[in-house]
A and B are shown apart, each in its own frame.
Chain A
Amino acid sequence: MSDHIELFKEKAKLVSAQVTEVASMDEAYQFVVDLCDKKEACQLMMSGCAEAVSDPAQELCDTKQRKVVAAPNLEEADFEKLAALCKAQDFDCIRQGMRQHLGGIDIGFTVCQGGIAETGTLMLESNDEEVRLATMVAEHHVAVLPKSLIKADSYDLEQELGERLGNGPSYTALITGPSRTADIERVLALGVHGPLELHILLLEA
């Protein structure tokens, strides 16, 4: 088991994910707020908006007026905790309405349902479109992964994943590192469409 966790960390780092261990969900919320605050992950200007983009693209950029954290798959009570921390820093914290934020948000926060050590992969239930959007339009995706859910390889996750797929409609994502491309001169660039950074918080559970 602890082998899996070490392997998971190693593989996730190889694909440019950043892995941190947290003891509790409260610590995870604090991580989000700190990330937004201290590391200046939260900025009014979204990535790319300072470049020479077309006028219509600039308009979409300009729709972002506030610093935003989205946490679409938290239970009500948990969400309130995070929202309170955000409020103290004057960030917006939302659970839905992602379509109003296609210009971009700062942090998408989710809790994952599984992990694969062999590849450093997260399994994220995305039936709810807010989850899909929050994890794609956010510049930083912060994902909590309870350690007990990490499996050695994809075959070990097969049954669980299979049950999700068999109970449609369903939408399930396997996520391995941030969005990336090497389409221009084979130079690796992170964050072409989705998050520029992926933070995985391994939760003691």
Chain B
Amino acid sequence: MQNAKDLKDYRSELRESLDNEFLRKTLDTFAVSYRAGRANAFKDVDVKALIKEIADGKDEAGQHMDELFQEFKKNAEAAGVHVHLAKDADEANRIIGEIAQKADCKKIVKSKSMTAEETLLNHHLEDLGLEVTETDLGEWIIQLRHEGPTHMVMPAIHLSRFQVADLFGDVTGKEQETDIEKLVKVARRELRRKYAEADMGISGANFCLAESGTIGIVTNEGNARLVTTLPRVHVALAGLDKLTPTLHDALRVLKVLPKNATGQALTSYVTWITGANQCLAAQDERKEMHVVFLDNGRTALAKDPIFKEVLRCVRCGACANVCPVYRLVGGHKMGHIYIGAIGLILTYFFHGRDKARNLVQNCINCGACADVCAAGIDLPRLIKEIHARIQDEEGHPMSSVLLGKVLTNRKLFHRLLKTARWAQAPVKEKNGFLRHLPMVFAKEQNFRALPAIADKAFRDLWPDIKPNVAAPKYKVALFSGCVQDFVYPDQLTATVRSFDGHDVAVDFPMEQSCCGLPAQMMGELKAARDVARQNIRAFEQSDARYVICSCASCASHLKHGYVKLLQGDHVWEPRAKAFAEKIIDYSSFMSDVLQVQPNEFQDKGSKVTYHAPCHLCRGLNVKDAPRDLMRTAGLDYEPCNEEEVCCGFGGTFSMKFPELSSELLNKKLSDAEATGAEELLTDCPGCIMQLRGGVERRGSSLKVRHIAEAVAEQRKK
């Protein structure tokens, strides 16, 4: 639940989670075991293709929600079901309350429904004097504790057996042992009694099949079978997004949903109900059955060109399972009612700007969620879009406007960077770090040292570095990105050096500027588009076949971000696509295009380990190239634990949430140190800034370098 007034308040809530040792340990183990379980479940499956089919099917259904509703209604009514449509949460709650009162129900058992959480149904029913019991074990536990879920699939993941034992002690009036098996048995007996007494059952629905008016419910515990069988009245509450034309659509989702949620091939129970079935507790031995559809903004969402894909979500929870921020702070802080990446987005639409304002900023843009999403939703992008939308609605903060203004004016931006070099002179150390932070940074930024601006920017060194190639085999252009251009020009020099002997003609278009990702991260989409156009124009001047970018973040933004930003712009969309075609990251160019060979390198290289930048391994889906390259270049590469987990940089994220950034950083460095390597290599200057700064503060002996620097050094002279 989100109750924080402002970002400061929100951050102090995050601090509480960070200090919760049980939560941290639980979520750490979960993150690691989930990853393995999911990989195992999908090992013989073309999961990307399946996800694409699901996305297409869901998009199609989203565009015909109204027709599907009519068809469902017709078929369900023919089988004796009452079908309702509620425009918002209040109306849904009111309808269900009235059904209960009309049928003279007193006691209600419920099986899990995120939609009922969305409408806060229990509160409403309890206000009417009805007794409501959740029967999913996790939901029951949090209901007894009067709190919301911290995970969409495992709502009580934040609680320990001791807390549960205490709670059950209160419920039963008997002292409890802390043995989990026994606690589960106690719940079995307590809830069995509740089913026996209930006169109304409420369930959710994972699928509403229009062709037959059927609902499909997925559970592991089997509680939905009892909830829909014993009481004489059954109400199913479902979002309109659960409507789907055919059984086939549902079976397709079932090929991914359980595997993605918990690594199971299929959940223990999938229950299909068409119509008012036999119920021996009802007078005519027929169940009184209702299906209540909830709109609550879904119809409008379906019409939104950018956000309509949100309706694809099948609520598998995977986007939380892999999120490094969720792993640190848990679901109460990484969501309001819906949790994880999708929660950040849905909160805005279902629960309003107030609840979403702080939340949407808490995404490091690592892309882990999009990589596993069962419905192929581009979650990080939509999170940024929400942030931008909120700023458009409420006014952009001064810092963000300024950043946008500066970035769109390349000359001004570069002049400012050069001026900063003079300003930092008094605090600059010989080792390339700033002795203490300039006044604009808060003290809490001190978890990592910040680098100084280089004496000479790469663009000023370029005339001396540019290789002279008489008969070029390859024509390439370099995209530097601001960090390499102004802070780490050596990385670019090394990039160019490592092409030696392959007849590569290199060009460096001077009109290039910041890639614009920081502006996008700050919600300044207009500025992000402006710089995108400037950069595309700058590179159109060059006849290069490849645009090489040794900054993973820039590369992924140039390749995928630009096309999305300029989508629908008749002039610029095709130009963005042509530009994107040419973008290649450093390691792929070396391994796949130049196909460098071991005999070009010295064979006794140092022991190194690797950090896979989010924007390379997921953003560009480049996984083998850097690892192959290190081995080819004669380096003794020792893989690192959790190599593909974010280092915590995330650009402006690390400024906004230093406490989270530093946790991620320290975990990353501990893993790297544990390999016993002398050097930690990676292919993103942003990560390097973060990692080096952390190494400096820890006083670690680990050396952090760009992979190009190590490769250039290994090249035989």
Contact = CB atoms under 8 A, between A and B. Distances in A.
Interface in A46-75: 46-49, 51-61
Contacts of B277: 127, 129, 169-171
B221 A185 contact: no
Contacts of B651: none
A158 B209 contact: no
Contacts of B161: 184-185
Contact of A51 (B164, B189, B214, B269): B189
A81 interface: no
A119 interface: yes
B270 A192 contact: no
Interface string B399-412: 00000000000000
B137 A184 contact: yes
B644 interface: no
Contacts of B157: 186
A165 interface: yes
Interface string A97-113: 00100111000000000
Interface in B156-173: 156-157, 159-161, 164, 171-173
B247 A51 contact: no
A-side interface size class: 35 or more
B604 interface: no
A165 to B, nearest CB: 4
Contact of B172 (A53, A164, A168): A53
Contact of A177 (B75, B186, B268, B286): B268
Nearest to A103: B192
A165 B247 contact: yes
A60 B196 CA distance: 9
A174 interface: yes
Given A51-B189, A184-B156, A193 B211 contact: no
Interface string B280-292: 1100001000000
Interface in B416-447: none
Chain B, interface size category, equals: 35 or more
A158 B272 CA distance: 13
A154 B248 CA distance: 9
Nearest to B286: A169
Contacts of A58: 189
Contacts of B195: 102
A129 B265 contact: no
A166 B135 contact: no
Interface in B496-534: none
A171 B272 contact: yes
A118 interface: yes
Contacts of B461: none
Interface in A145-179: 154-155, 158, 161-162, 164-179
Specify which of A52, A102, A127, A191 lies most central, judged by the most chain B CB atoms within 10 Å of its CB.
A52
B39 interface: no
A102 B192 contact: yes
B254 A193 contact: no
Given A47-B185, A155-B248, A173 B270 contact: yes
Given A119-B265, A171-B277, A192 B193 contact: no
B154 A186 contact: yes
B276 interface: yes
Contacts of B266: 119, 121, 174, 176
A125 to B, nearest CB: 10
A137 B286 CA distance: 21
A133 to B, nearest CB: 6
Contacts of B262: 182
B621 interface: no
A171 B192 contact: no
Interface in B169-201: 171-177, 180-193, 195-196
B26 interface: yes
A133 B192 CA distance: 12
Interface string A183-195: 1111101011110
B307 interface: no
Given A48-B189, A192-B221, A168 B79 contact: yes
A174 to B, nearest CB: 4
A15 interface: yes
From B26, B182, B185, residue with most partner A Cβ within 10 Å: B185
A44 B29 CA distance: 40
Contact of A99 (B141, B189, B280): B280
A148 to B, nearest CB: 22
Contacts of B251: 154-155, 158
Contact of B275 (A56, A169, A175): A169
B226 interface: yes
A143 B30 CA distance: 34
Contact of A54 (B174, B196, B220): B174
B701 interface: no
A51 B222 contact: no
Interface in A15-34: 15
The interface centre, meaning the residue of A47, A61, A136 with most chain B CB atoms within 10 A of its CB, is A136
B652 interface: no
Contact of A165 (B225, B272, B280): B272
B271 A173 contact: yes
Contacts of A187: 180
Contacts of A192: 137, 184, 187-188, 221-223
A84 interface: no
Contact of A161 (B26, B154, B247): B247
B185 A129 contact: no
A194 B180 contact: no
A175 B229 contact: no
A181 B267 CA distance: 10
B47 interface: no
A90 interface: no
A90 B484 CA distance: 84
B80 interface: yes
A143 B427 CA distance: 76
B155 interface: yes
A120 interface: yes
Interface string A123-134: 000111100110
Contacts of B192: 57, 60, 102-104, 137, 193
Given A53-B190, A162-B247, A173 B269 contact: yes
A120 B266 CA distance: 9
B641 to A, nearest CB: 21
Contacts of A158: 247-248, 251
A179 B281 contact: no
B25 to A, nearest CB: 10
Given A102-B192, A133-B229, A165-B274, A183 B155 contact: yes
A181 B26 contact: no
B390 interface: no
Nearest to A172: B272
A51 B270 contact: no
A174 B156 CA distance: 26
6 contacts: A51-B185, A99-B280, A173-B272, A176-B267, A186-B30, A189-B180
Given A181-B137, A184-B184, A193-B221, 5 more contacts: A54-B171, A133-B230, A136-B229, A168-B213, A172-B271
Q: Which 3 A-B pairs have the closest CB atoms?
A: A169-B275, A168-B274, A168-B275
Interface of B: 26, 29-30, 75, 78-80, 135-138, 141, 154-157, 159-161, 164, 171-177, 180-193, 195-196, 209, 211-214, 220-223, 225-226, 228-230, 246-248, 251, 254-255, 262, 264-281, 286
Interface of A: 11, 14-15, 46-49, 51-61, 99, 102-104, 118-121, 126-129, 132-133, 136-137, 154-155, 158, 161-162, 164-187, 189, 191-194
